[in-house]
Structure 1
């Protein structure tokens, strides 16, 4: 497996991954955390067009994981301005200090590659790309999975243990099973 950044040259690879999975999560095209968001008023075609425009303009960031020539997973990251829409927003805002430099908001792994280390590779790739782009405080909102059975298809934020194994620390709870985790990347 190897990593490439999402950009105009890798858009076709990302596009193939998303299309193999019906637009991801009902046609989201991973727009849910961007300002435009998704919802009843949005079509799958609109989500796709908005994501492509963001990628081609350099306003969408992700680490893509490849197995040979096929893109098999990804980890989305960006500044809070790029990714302002997060889950548990009201609870997040209650105790929020300063915003981080970067947010890691979403993972997607091809269904035939789950439980094979692709999410970990994607996170490592995202952290390397964040460092290359200047680093800073990185924050994410993973789910606590210890002692619970959770379908891998629902772990769009990854697991707390995956982040902790890379030096992230829990800073506060969000909702019942999610945490804010953060670390400084150089």
Structure 2
């Protein structure tokens, strides 16, 4: 399955495309519009380190492209008007081992999930439109098409936070967003993140 659609509560429908060599240009265009993401990381921070990775933004871009070409980097791209406007990175723990607070996570985990969602980003010009949730739902739809399984996410838990947090730093969405999608809270992770999970059935 290379793509699907997600319709929001307001009736807006978005195309969801899997990140593949064929959709790389959509992903690359979005990243370049956003300055390569955090300091030019190109969403490689959670992947396992490899000897062929070169330093700097261009090295990160080439590293990501290589993994996409090899089929070991996955994401749901939200496409609107011919442009990718958001994405949610997902993959197996083998593909995405380097999560934040990993020492704590490994000490407290019961078992590894089948998939994890590690990064959700929205085009700066399209924030506050609910696109992060669309991207998360898109990732789950693509996972369902791949056979489903246990999916974990590590969103920011702002339950007890009184100070407003800039959306630019919410690299994996919020606990409340995951709850709306159907995830169940498991435990805290770090100071302001948490572990949440959902069982995704295989799609027909």
TM range (shorter): over 0.9
**2:120 corresponding residue in structure 1:** 107
**2:135 corresponding residue in structure 1:** 122
User: Displacement, 1:176?
Assistant: 1.8
User: Quick check: 1:162 aligned with 2:193?
Assistant: no
Match of residue 66, structure 1, among 79, 100, 118: 79
| Matches of 2:66 and 2:49, distance apart in 1 | 12
**1:144 corresponding residue in structure 2:** 157
Gaps of at least 5 residues in structure 1 are none
User: Quick check: 1:26 aligned with 2:39?
Assistant: yes
User: Displacement, 1:21?
Assistant: 1.4
Q: TM-score, normalised by structure 2?
A: 0.87
Match of residue 57, structure 2, among 41, 44, 54: 44
Paired residues, number = 183
User: Stretches of 4+ moved more than 3 A in 1?
Assistant: none
| Matches of 2:101 and 2:127, distance apart in 1 | 26
| Matches of 2:70 and 2:196, distance apart in 1 | 29
> How much is the aligned-residue C-alpha RMSD, in angstroms?
1.2
| Matches of 2:80 and 2:150, distance apart in 1 | 30
| Matches of 1:163 and 1:22, distance apart in 2 | 27
Matched position secondary structure for 2:55: coil
Shifted more, 16-25 versus 146-155: the winner is 146-155
User: Displacement, 1:122?
Assistant: 0.4
| Matches of 1:174 and 1:9, distance apart in 2 | 36
Match of residue 78, structure 1, among 85, 91, 100: 91
Q: TM-score, normalised by structure 1?
A: 0.95
Matched position secondary structure for 1:184: strand
